[in-house]
Structure 1
């Protein structure tokens, strides 16, 4: 399974602000640190705010920070939230499937099991687990 760039950036944003509890971060700051487009980050930050993962403060001196403790941010739930529109294969889509073997194909069941296993692993981790090596991450991102 391949995660979308949106999910990748979402996790990176949360890691960065998770390393700096109580401190505001900005899109410009993250764009510089990760070398990511500001436009992509604006979409990610907007989504994270809508989903309740971060609090955003507008205006001069504004920015964003975690809305929940890192221990309360489950990685499986986060990935489900960001990947909800992504279909692994055509027959998983809500739209009509043009695959001729779809009615008799057993691969869909196999892939569903694989996806369930994938999320079962992610469900075991929180943002706190991803930032438990704080010293190393801080050295790479902030210092």
Structure 2
């Protein structure tokens, strides 16, 4: 299992905002702190805003902040929200929008035990992520490293 860059950057953004709860931050500030493209980060922040993880304030004095307290944001919720496809193999993928089953043409799909094992493993992976909040993963070291944002 490998998380997408979209999810990685989403988690990094939330960590950054979780460290800077005393003020609004800018997309540029987050992008510079992590070396991420601002254009790419705009899409990620838009998605996080739709999910209620980030609040965006428009205008001259606008910026970003967490949409709710870091202690209430489960890492598992963020991963489930930002990952488009959690299917580890083709036969675990959900039906496409037209309702067609994308089982990858596997003739064993109806009797396969491996799919069940992989589904269980994925469930355990997510259950571990659900045990941790954003507040749990923000360390003092990260606070020190990211506490002095790069000037724009």
Q: After alignment, is 83-92 or 46-55 more displaced?
A: 83-92
What RMSD in Å do the two structures reach over aligned CA positions? 1.4
- Residue 119 of structure 2 corresponds to residue 112 of structure 1: yes
**Unaligned 5+ residue runs, structure 2?**
96-100
Q: Secondary structure at the match of 1:64?
A: strand
Q: Distance between the aligned counterparts of 2:22 and 2:48, measured in 1?
A: 17
CA shift for structure 1 position 22: 3.3
1:6 aligned residue: 6
1:41-56 matches, cutoff 5 A: 41-56=41-56
1:25/1:65 contact within 8 Å kept: yes
Q: Which of 102, 114, 117 is 2:109 aligned to?
A: 102
Q: Distance between the aligned counterparts of 2:26 and 2:5, measured in 1?
A: 19
TM-score computed with the length of structure 2 as normaliser: 0.86
TM-score computed with the length of structure 1 as normaliser: 0.91
- Residue 5 of structure 2 corresponds to residue 24 of structure 1: no
CA shift for structure 1 position 101: 2.7
Q: After alignment, is 98-107 or 114-123 more displaced?
A: 98-107
2:20/2:147 contact within 8 Å kept: no
1:58 aligned residue: 58
**Unaligned 5+ residue runs, structure 1?**
none
Which segments of structure 1 move beyond 3 Å, counting only runs of 4 or more?
none
Q: Secondary structure at the match of 1:96?
A: coil
Q: Distance between the aligned counterparts of 2:143 and 2:78, measured in 1?
A: 22
CA shift for structure 1 position 77: 1.4
1:58-77 matches, cutoff 5 A: 58-77=58-77
